[in-house]
């Protein structure tokens, strides 16, 4: 049952359903297999993919308004077990996108996104890391195509947004 103070937002639901593969949400019949397969749910009971989908289905946008969803590992354990092939990790990514636009993004994730724009990778490559790779005989990492990466991110409006968005969860930039 939806709590009285919950703000329902059918615009969020409609937006999500309009995104590529977002409509797979409508196939969810709440069996809960996703949650029983989820490694994050196993250690954090408040992280519940089945419940996230139920909330989005009824237009409860709280999934995009708190940090919990950012704990998703995109490991796809849920998706491979879903009898309806609902694109669960993808739907949670869409919730993160909406969260990002409103600043509902953990500072660490924001930092990683900015590193992608500046370096083309989510983590900077350090000299010790490169030495270890050489010792292990791993291939050269190559150079990211920054022009393409920035153009692609600019195309979806994320570059300008990342310059201005502030994490509502605190951290150095809010001090
Ligand atoms: S396993 Fe699929 S159908 Fe079942 S609750 Fe999860 S998303 Fe819905
Ligand atoms: S993709 Fe996310 S929701 Fe699905 S099993 Fe992995 S951590 Fe859980």
For 64-112, the pLDDT digits (tens) are 988 899 999 999 999 999 999 999 999 999 999 888 878 888 888 888 8
| Burial of residue 71 (number of CB atoms within 10 Å: 0-12, 13-18, 19+) | middle
Q: Hey, whose CA ends up nearest to atom 1 of ligand 2?
A: 74
- How many CB atoms are located within 10 Å of the residue 22 CB? 18
State in Å: Cα 35 to ligand 2 middle: 8
Nearest atom in ligand 1 to the alpha carbon of residue 85 is 2
Higher-confidence residue: 25 or 2?
A: 25
Residue 152: pLDDT over 60: yes
Residue-level pLDDT at 156: 67
Q: Hey, whose CA ends up nearest to atom 6 of ligand 2?
A: 75
Residue-level pLDDT at 163: 73
State which of 25, 32, 40 you would mutate to test the pocket of ligand 2, scoring each by most atoms of that ligand within 8 A of its C-beta. 40
Task: Name the band, by pLDDT with cuts 50, 70 and 90, for residue 173.
Answer: very low
Nearest atom in ligand 1 to the alpha carbon of residue 50 is 5
Residue-level pLDDT at 175: 34
Instruction: Please state the φ and ψ torsions of residue 50, each to the nearest 5 degrees.
Output: -60, -45
- Specify the range with the lowest mean pLDDT, choosing from 12-21, 111-120, 128-137, 158-167: 158-167
Measured from the alpha carbon of residue 68, the closest ligand is 2
Task: Name the band, by pLDDT with cuts 50, 70 and 90, for residue 127.
Answer: very high
User: Rounded mean pLDDT of 105-123?
Assistant: 85
Q: Hey, whose CA ends up nearest to atom 8 of ligand 1?
A: 28
Does residue 8 sit in helix, strand or coil? strand
Residue-level pLDDT at 49: 98
Pick from 108, 15, 92: which is nearest to 51 by CA? 92
* Cα–Cα distance, 142 to 152 (Å, whole number): 19
Q: Hey, whose CA ends up nearest to atom 1 of ligand 1?
A: 82
Q: Hey, whose CA ends up nearest to atom 3 of ligand 1?
A: 28
Residue 37: pLDDT over 90: yes
Max avg pLDDT among 22-26, 67-71, 150-154, 160-164: 22-26
Our answer on whether the CB atom of 72 is closer than 6 Å to any ligand 2 atom is yes
Nearest atom in ligand 1 to the alpha carbon of residue 30 is 5
User: Rounded mean pLDDT of 41-65?
Assistant: 94
Share of the chain above pLDDT 70, in %: 90
Task: Name the band, by pLDDT with cuts 50, 70 and 90, for residue 174.
Answer: very low
Does residue 85 sit in helix, strand or coil? coil
């Amino acid at each position: 049952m939806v709590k009285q103070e919950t703000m329902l937002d059918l615009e969020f639901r409609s937006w999500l359903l309009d995104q590529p593969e977002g409509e797979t949400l409508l196939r969810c019949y709440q069996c809960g297999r996703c949650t029983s397969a989820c490694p994050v749910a196993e250690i954090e009971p408040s992280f519940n993919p089945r419940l996230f989908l139920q909330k989005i289905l009824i237009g409860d946008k709280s999934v995009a308004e708190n940090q919990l969803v950012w704990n998703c590992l995109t490991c796809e354990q849920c998706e491979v077990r879903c009898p309806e092939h609902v694109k669960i990790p993808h739907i949670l990514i869409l919730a993160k996108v909406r969260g990002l636009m409103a600043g509902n993004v953990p500072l660490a994730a924001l930092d990683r996104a900015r590193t992608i724009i500046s370096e083309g990778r989510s983590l900077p490559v350090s000299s010790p890391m490169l030495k270890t790779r050489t010792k292990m005989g791993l291939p050269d990492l190559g150079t990211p195509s920054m022009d393409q990466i920035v153009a692609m991110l600019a195309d979806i409006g994320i570059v300008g947004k990342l310059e201005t968005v502030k994490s509502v969860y605190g951290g150095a930039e809010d001090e």
